[in-house]
Amino acid sequence: ARIFENLNLLNFLDMRNNLLAVIPSDTFQSLNVLSLLQLSNNRLTSILPAWFRNLANLSIVNLNVNLITEVLPDTFVGTTRIGLINLNTNRISIIHDGAFRTLTNLQTLDLSNNLITSLNANFFAGFPNINDLRLNFNQIEEFPDGLFSPFQTIRFFEARGNRLRVVSRKYFGNLGILDFLRFDDNLIVAFDQRIMDEARMLRTFTFFGNICATGSLTSNPPVNLTPCFANYVAMGRLKVNFFNM
């Protein structure tokens, strides 16, 4: 018998801080009203799609601090209400197309502290409701044009600690309500000023630890960073940090 077979009213399941390396595929199948699944800080190396097959009410999934190496296609088929997925601090290097295909209500996705080097241009297609995306401390060198264009409500975006050299306006869609933007500790030499021109609600922008934070940009023509943001600072709306102080 499955361990949770008779707990069909269970709403919150916390199994973090164990040494779990394997969870059988049918473990959660009777938990029809489960809304939060907490599996952080274990030794899981994979996510089995069958885990989520009958979890129609699941809204929060925490899988941070494990040893997961990839996210398979259709991993979350069976649930459409998930609003938050935390995969921070794993060993993910591959995210297959369709991994998050059914998650049209996804709002927060944390893929920080993994081994991701690139993302397919259509990776975020079908996720218009994402408002919080964290890609910190991976090994990403560039984003394809249009990667984030499906986002209509993005407010919080972080891509710290990668290997980015250029940040282009072409990456993004609607920037009208963007509030928080971080590109610290990359190798950025050129930043598209149009991002700042259109992000009229931006309040926090951090940019320390980049090549252009030490002088003028090497783009053609050369652009000095400071004037790009001076008017925002003067208006008192934007907190800017070019240097790690």
Tell me what percent of the residues of the chain surpass a pLDDT of 70. Answer: 86
- The residues that bridge with 167 in the sheet, in sequence order, are 191
pLDDT tens for each residue of 117-135: 999 888 888 788 899 999 9
pLDDT tens for each residue of 70-119: 999 889 888 889 999 999 999 999 998 888 888 889 999 999 999 999 99
Q: Amino acid letter at 80?
A: T
Which runs of consecutive H residues, i.e. helices, occur in 36-161? none
Tell me what percent of the residues of the chain surpass a pLDDT of 90. Answer: 57
- Cβ neighbours of residue 67 under 8 Å, at least 6 residues apart? 43, 44, 45, 90, 91
Please report where in the chains the tokens 């809204």 appear, as a residue. 59
Between these two residues, 152 and 213, which has the higher pLDDT value? 152
pTM: 0.88
Q: What share of the chain is helix, strand, coil (3-state, %, to 5)?
A: 10, 15, 75
**How would DSSP label each residue in 35-89?**
-EEE--SS------GGGGTT-TT--EEE--SS---EE-TTTTTT-----EEE--S
**pLDDT tops 70 at residue 238:** no
- Cβ neighbours of residue 220 under 8 Å, at least 6 residues apart? none
- Are 156 and 182 within 8 A, CB to CB? no
**pLDDT confidence bin for 240, thresholds 50/70/90:** low
pLDDT for 61 equals: 98
How far apart are the C-alpha atoms of 139 and 130, rounded to whole Å?
A: 22
pLDDT tens for each residue of 155-206: 999 999 999 988 888 999 999 999 999 999 998 878 887 888 899 999 999 9
User: What's the token pair of residue 55?
Assistant: 């979890």
CA-to-CA separations, 23 to 26, 42, 46, 124, in angstroms, rounded:
8, 11, 9, 28
